Amino acid sequence: MKKRFEIFRYNPETDKKPYFKSYEVEVYEGMTLLDALNYIRWEIDGTLTYRRSCRSAICGSCAMKINGRTYLACKTQVIKDIKSDHIKVEPLPGYEIIKDLVVDMDNFFDKLKRTKPYHITHKAPPEKERLQSPEDFKFINEAADCILCGACVSACPSSWAGKDYLGPAALLKAYKFCADTRDEGADERLAIVNDKNGVWRCHYTANCMDACPKDIKITDYIARLRNMLVQNKL
């Protein structure tokens, strides 16, 4: 069985504007879109550029737009998950394009760093490790699943409109650390997200939840961050 892959191509050094190039690939049961891209790169056109690493939906490198929706290429099977014989592959929207399917994630990671995505502790460490009960872990279990693929930010209209908006991924990470019982830096982090371009910029469009390949309810966690701020007297 053959499927046609229409892939976004753009090399800023040689192309005046982006275009789509078509490739026909023999597909098989269990083949992922990443397998198909690898086949195209290795067997048909070595100039096709895309990011990939773990092949297990853990590293977040291969998020891209597939037939209009955001998926991880390594988690999407070309027969089971995509019924159409025509598969359109584009880079994540909302980012600068470096080449073909590779987008510039610098701004994404800069915003993430602004929310201090690491444990802040003031007390001396215990003899072995900082323990957490299973009950307390439940608060951060889902938020900790984020693989930083950037799909949520690419789906968020507030992020498209405001380049300074922290965006759903950074806010989710801020929630994860603020809600972690082992962390003592919630006040510092809440002061950072309590900003026009922070938690208050979200309009609850909930596109981020729709785009998240890990099905994290990101908008709910942004609401919880707001709740924390309200509890701390706005």
Partner 1 sequence: MRKTFGTSGNTGAMGWFFHRLTSIYLAVVLLIHFAVMHFIGDGTITYAKIADRLASPGWKVLDILFLYTGLYHGLYGLWNLLEDYIHNSFWRAFIYFLIAFGGFALVILGTITIVNFKKIGG
Interface residues with partner 1 (CB under 8 A) are: 157-158, 161-162, 164, 194-198, 200-201, 203, 226, 229-230, 234
Name every residue whose Cβ is closer than 8 Å to that of residue 87 and which is 6 or more positions away in sequence. 3, 4, 5, 6, 33, 36, 66, 67, 78
Indicate the residue among 77 and 205 with the shorter CB distance to partner 1.
205
Nearer to partner 1, 124 or 234 (CB): 234
| Nearer to partner 1 among residue 32 and residue 158 (C-beta) | 158
Q: Tell me the closest approach of the beta carbon of residue 229 to partner 1, in angstroms.
A: 7
Cβ burial of 205 (10 Å; 0-12, 13-18, 19+) is middle
Decide the pairing of beta strands 97-99 and 69-72: unpaired
Relative to beta strand 102-103, strand 86-90 is unpaired
Which is closer to partner 1, CB of 94 or CB of 213?
94
Least gap, CB of 156 to partner 1 (angstroms): 11
Structure tokens at 228: 């924390």
- CA dist 111 and 66 (Å) reads 26
Give least dist CB 159 to partner 1, A.
Answer: 10
Task: Report the nearest approach of partner 1 to the CB of residue 175 (Å).
Answer: 16
